[in-house]
Structure 1
Amino acid sequence: MGETVGRAGRATVQLLVSAGLALVSYLFLALLLFTAVVTLLVVGAGVLPETVLLLRRMAGYKRRRVAAWTGEAVPEAYLPLTGELSERVRTATADPGTYRDLRWLAAHFGYGLLLPYLSLPLWALGLLVDGVWCGLLRRPAVVLPLIRRLADLDAAWSRALLLPSPDSRRTALLAERVEELTVTRAGAVAAHGAELRRIERDLHDGAQARLVALSMRVGLAKRAYDTNPELARRLLDDAQDQAEEALTELRHVVRGIHPPILTDRGLVGAVRALAASSGLEVAVRADSVEDGPRAPAAVEAAAYFVVAEALTNAAKHSGADRAAVELARGDGLLTVSVRDEGCGGAGAGSPGGGLGSTGSPGEGAAGAPGGSGLLGIRRRVAALDGTVEVTSPAGGPTVIEVELPCVW
């Protein structure tokens, strides 16, 4: 009997929350009517998209309540409200999700209040009848379980009203995908621009400056060759040093574009070289990648720079003395996982954030463009339509997992 009362109590709480939402919907319907009138008068058209967003939040709250009660998620499908005001108003009025939510809101105002009222006499009847039925006759309760049925009915009706049609879901997913790709493209363009500026800066301040100095020393050596051979020899020695330094700068620039070690050793060999030179004790696991065909060059480069940036930040900021790198291949995916045993807090904007520390913008490990830390990693991965997930609780460990679409 006690368990039955507990289930009925939880069902009653669910129904009372639904009743409270129904009362809010009554006020919201009045707001919607006011917004519609104001919009028709072309005085407050800007209010409509914000009102629709509020409606979506109310429907989203009900979806979460239904999902928590039934254990089954209720998907949503909306067109994104972005762009200029006129575009947002058109989207808000043309989105099938808006009318689906309005239909639920109107219906929920009725059954959201009716079902809780029905539960009140069931409590009185149930405590009397079920108390005798269970206490004296040792039979299962028959009245109080009806309260849970009412909560199930509220969830079922809400789910039916809020569930989008397959066409609506496809349309909304397509619109969401277009918006996501627009953001991704902007990030890729920004990362590409940062890379070009870095290359230009490295060439101007590094290799170009050394080549200018080399040219001057060769010119001075030519002038001094007949009159002062010893000076000419010293100038030529300096010129040779300048040439070697210029070659070093050029190799550094090339590594930032596409590391030659990737071409020579492949991704696994390049990652092992990074691990050996990171200053940390790094364990590398890449059995499934090592034995199969190579990934495309762009995917290998992105994976390499993710590992390079992660290990560099871990060595600089996390306080860890060891890390682990794992490369794995799946159905159309290359997965990169880097873990350090440092202080955690990645992405918090502080240097102690470990391998995901956002740091200051600039050049990352091995010349990785787009800023250091998570910003550079996310931009580079997003350009290939990949995903980045970071887990970094305070105190560590920090784990960054990257998935890159890949055709093997």
Structure 2
Amino acid sequence: MGRTIRQAARATLHLVIAAAMAFGLYLFITVLLITAVLTIVVVGAWQLPETVLLLRRTAGAKRGQTAAWTGRQIPEAYQPITGTLRERLRISVRDPGTLIDVRWMAASYLYGALLFPALLLWPPGLVVDGVWCGLLRRDPVVLPLIVRIADLEARWSEALLKPSPQALLAARVEALAATRADAIAAHGAELRRIERDLHDGAQARLVALSMRIGLAQRAYDRDPDAARKLLADAQDQAQEALTELRQVVRGIHPPILTDRGLVGAVRALASGSGLEVTVGVDGLEDDGVRAPAAVEAAAYFTVAEALTNAAKHSGSKRATVQLERLPRGLRAVVRDEGLGGADETGGSGLLGIRRRVAALDGEVTMTSPMGGPTTIAVELPCVW
């Protein structure tokens, strides 16, 4: 009985909020009429995109309320309203998501007009008396009825707000275009970094090595001691050049990933980070199956960047790393108990993580409130 009463209370709250939102949409008619008139006379055409954005936020609130009741997320599929006024107007009018929101709003006028009086006038009263009768066990039929009405309202909203296949495809194409642009930018930045490292490091040392060998050849007959010293210096230059090349290679794909796998590589990162790092592993060592090399590299560089930032900026001496095998992917989470306040615009590290993960169609989530903690989580899709 207690579970039924709680469910009825949730249903009552859901229907009250739904009725209030439907009633609020009637007030939105004024905004629509003003926008329509100003758009027709051209002088207020700029207001149309803003009205569409307001409608998107209203529909988004309804999606959230419906998802809270059903437990199923309703995806959004909108084209970003950006560019010149002409482009913003074109997107606002032609976006399939706009038509879906307008259809939902029109339907809300209808069922809102029915739902709001029903909540207030249905005898003995679904809002108060229904729950009260259930509490006193006088009318066990009322409680399931209000839950069924809430289910019907949620299914109705879900059906209206669910994007069409065309809208989902358009949003997917838009997302892939943005991801491709980020991947190209990240690839270009990586190439420039490799070129800079080779030019300033290994190449410079190889040039110095060639010069010392040439000097040693010319001094060999007349001053063997000087030639031997030059050759010894050349050997040191060769060792330093090899070290520089190894560092460049590690920046492309760390050899430790190939040798030890992701778990071993992350544990090596943790031991050399200068922090007290606890590494947790879930499902990655069960059967020896490894993620694709690109996925392991993205997870490795995410952990490396996050631990580096924690050591430099967080003020904390401890951090945790959690690696988890998902049914269709890999999840890596780095958390520190530091000062928080991490800002993606403050440097290229966090932006680099986001671009690297986006290139693999993954997701990055970062939370870093002032005072901490800072948590960076990435999910990378892959087939095991």
TM bin (shorter chain): 0.7 to 0.9
Alignment partner of 1:58 is 2:34: no
Match of 1:385 in 2: 361
Q: May I ask how many residue pairs the two structures share in their alignment?
A: 366
Match of 2:182 in 1: 187
CA distance in 2, matches of 1:152, 1:25: 29
AA of the residue aligned to 2:180: R
Which of 275, 279, 290 aligns to 2:274? It is 279
1:71-126 deviation digits (Å, cap 9, x = unpaired) = 66683654414465555444433445434433444454566567657777789x98
For residue 395 of structure 1, report the CA deviation from its aligned partner.
3.8
Alignment CA distance shift 1:38-1:163 (3 Å)? farther
Gapped runs of 5+ residues in structure 1? 350-357, 361-370
1:7-64 deviation digits (Å, cap 9, x = unpaired) = 999699748844751442231231243145236xxx6655433332222233334444
CA distance in 1, matches of 2:114, 2:281: 60
For residue 172 of structure 1, report the CA deviation from its aligned partner.
2.1
Alignment partner of 1:404 is 2:384: no
Match of 2:301 in 1: 305
Alignment partner of 1:25 is 2:21: no
For residue 251 of structure 1, report the CA deviation from its aligned partner.
0.8
The within-5 A match list for 1:7-22 is 14=17, 17-18=20-21, 21-22=24-25
Which of 311, 314, 328 aligns to 1:315? It is 311
Alignment partner of 1:75 is 2:51: no
Q: Secondary structure in 2 aligned to 1:206?
A: helix
Match of 1:352 in 2: none
* Equivalent residues of 2:14, 2:150 under 8 A apart: no
AA of the residue aligned to 1:226: D
Q: Secondary structure in 1 aligned to 2:41?
A: helix
Match of 1:226 in 2: 221
Q: Secondary structure in 2 aligned to 1:28?
A: helix
The two structures have a TM-score, normalised by structure 2, of: 0.78
The RMSD of aligned alpha carbons is 3.9
* Equivalent residues of 1:288, 1:329 under 8 A apart: yes
Which of 235, 238, 243 aligns to 1:243? It is 238
Which of 141, 155, 163 aligns to 2:159? It is 163
Runs of 4+ deviating beyond 6 Å: 6-13, 117-123, 151-155
For residue 217 of structure 1, report the CA deviation from its aligned partner.
1.4
CA distance in 2, matches of 1:162, 1:217: 75
The within-5 A match list for 1:81-120 is 81-82=80-81, 86=86, 88-106=88-106, 108-109=108-109, 112=112
Match of 2:40 in 1: 37
Match of 1:215 in 2: 210
For residue 177 of structure 1, report the CA deviation from its aligned partner.
1.7
CA distance in 2, matches of 1:295, 1:95: 38
Match of 1:177 in 2: 172
CA distance in 2, matches of 1:333, 1:21: 42
CA distance in 2, matches of 1:287, 1:375: 27
Q: Secondary structure in 1 aligned to 2:364?
A: strand
Alignment CA distance shift 1:275-1:238 (3 Å)? same
* Equivalent residues of 2:310, 2:338 under 8 A apart: no
Please identify, of 242-251 and 270-279, the stretch whose mean Cα deviation from structure 2 is larger: 270-279
1:204-260 deviation digits (Å, cap 9, x = unpaired) = 111111111112212222222222222222211111111111111111111111112
CA distance in 1, matches of 2:242, 2:108: 73
The within-5 A match list for 1:341-360 is 342-345=337-340, 347-348=342-343, 359-360=346-347
Kindly name which structure, 1 or 2, has the bigger radius of gyration based on alpha carbons.
1
CA distance in 2, matches of 1:325, 1:119: 50
Alignment partner of 1:375 is 2:351: yes
Match of 2:201 in 1: 206
1:306-333 deviation digits (Å, cap 9, x = unpaired) = 1211222222222232333232323221
* Equivalent residues of 1:295, 1:407 under 8 A apart: yes
Q: Secondary structure in 1 aligned to 2:164?
A: helix
Match of 1:336 in 2: 332
AA of the residue aligned to 1:173: L
* Equivalent residues of 2:213, 2:234 under 8 A apart: yes
**Identical counterparts, % of pairs:** 58
CA distance in 2, matches of 1:309, 1:375: 11
CA distance in 1, matches of 2:154, 2:38: 25
Alignment CA distance shift 1:208-1:281 (3 Å)? same
CA distance in 2, matches of 1:256, 1:20: 58
AA of the residue aligned to 1:34: V
Q: Secondary structure in 2 aligned to 1:289?
A: coil
The two structures have a TM-score, normalised by structure 1, of: 0.74
* Equivalent residues of 1:343, 1:394 under 8 A apart: no
Please identify, of 97-106 and 194-203, the stretch whose mean Cα deviation from structure 2 is larger: 97-106
Please identify, of 82-91 and 206-215, the stretch whose mean Cα deviation from structure 2 is larger: 82-91
AA of the residue aligned to 1:27: T
